[in-house]
Structure 1
Amino acid sequence: MLDAEDAQGADLRSIAEASELLGVTQRTLRFYEDKGLIRPRRVGSMRVYSRREMGRMQLILRGKRLGFSIREIGEFLSLYDDGGGRIEQMRHLQSRINERLRELQDQRRAIEQTIDELVKMEGEAQDRIDALERGGD
């Protein structure tokens, strides 16, 4: 049943409107619906997205951007649904965030090392080119 706010239609979006506002395809919205992460309402055969579902999609997209799995995002959404009041769940969330931070920091270090090595190799290649152009070995 529609609540008073949604009954006016002001906060309901069609799948086309929702996908455009979120910057995703309609197929993406249906994918997350199939995974049970969002539950758009139906008006006849049309999917409609409430403010709540739009908020959930923003959380999903943020989780994906941060590299979390669908399962992890589902766990985070359950915290959102529960109001985040259960301390054990919040500690688990914090633990997963810290783990992801460590992974990304490790990746950043590896990328920085690779960049440093490539810069050094590029300099060595340029030195060799310069020497060859001067006619030396």
Structure 2
Amino acid sequence: MTGNEYIGFKEMCARFDVTPRTLRYYEYIELLSPRKEGRSRFYGPREIARMKLILRGRRFGFSLEDIRQWLLIYGEKGTREQYRVWIELADRQLDVLAQQRQELEAAIADLRDLRDETEALLSRMEAEPRDG
């Protein structure tokens, strides 16, 4: 009973460009619950949708625990509460990303200044007569 709506383990890894270890870990921490037949695993529309949400959350910098808790809310309290929590999580993560951007911009500016200072120093050294 593995119709078109279900895909296997290898196809799931390939579709989402994740390692088998990653996929097994997501199952271990209960982010995904594939249907099992013997040793085979099959992923249906629910698991595929959850995987998209997991990877999107990771891209935004959310921890796996944040994602796991958020996914649990849907089953326990429904869509409205899930949306409320999502907004809270997103606001918090936007603050984190803004801080990271400031730190990155400062590092870029510092590196650019140091590079320019070094280039100027090298230019002066090359313009000076050399001692033999």
Same fold (TM over 0.5): yes
Identity percentage of aligned residues: 34
- Cα distance in 2 for partners of 1:117, 1:55 equals 42
2:97 to 101, 104, 111: 104
Deviations 1:45-86 (A, max 9, x none): 211111111111111111122111122101221244455123
| Pairs aligned (count) | 128
- Cα distance in 2 for partners of 1:67, 1:46 equals 31
One-letter code aligned to 2:80: G
2:11 counterpart of 1:17: yes
- Cα distance in 2 for partners of 1:83, 1:122 equals 54
Query: How do 1:73-112 and structure 2 match up within 5 A?
Result: 73-81=67-75, 83-86=78-81, 89-112=82-105
The answer as to whether partners of 2:12 and 2:43 remain within 8 angstroms in 1 is: yes
- Cα distance in 1 for partners of 2:38, 2:58 equals 31
Q: TM-score, normalised by structure 1?
A: 0.84
One-letter code aligned to 2:55: L
Q: Secondary structure at the match of 1:47?
A: strand
Q: Secondary structure at the match of 2:4?
A: coil
Q: Secondary structure at the match of 2:79?
A: coil
Q: Secondary structure at the match of 1:36?
A: coil
What value does the CA root-mean-square deviation take over the aligned residues? Answer: 1.8
Deviations 1:75-99 (A, max 9, x none): 221244455123xx43332112111
2:56 to 57, 62, 82: 62
Q: Which runs of 4+ in 1 moved over 6 A?
A: none
The answer as to whether partners of 1:79 and 1:90 remain within 8 angstroms in 2 is: no
Q: Secondary structure at the match of 1:85?
A: helix
The answer as to whether partners of 2:6 and 2:45 remain within 8 angstroms in 1 is: yes
- Cα distance in 1 for partners of 2:2, 2:20 equals 24
- Cα distance in 2 for partners of 1:119, 1:74 equals 40
- Cα distance in 1 for partners of 2:109, 2:83 equals 39
2:39 counterpart of 1:45: yes
Change (3 A) 1:8 1:40: closer
- Cα distance in 1 for partners of 2:104, 2:57 equals 22
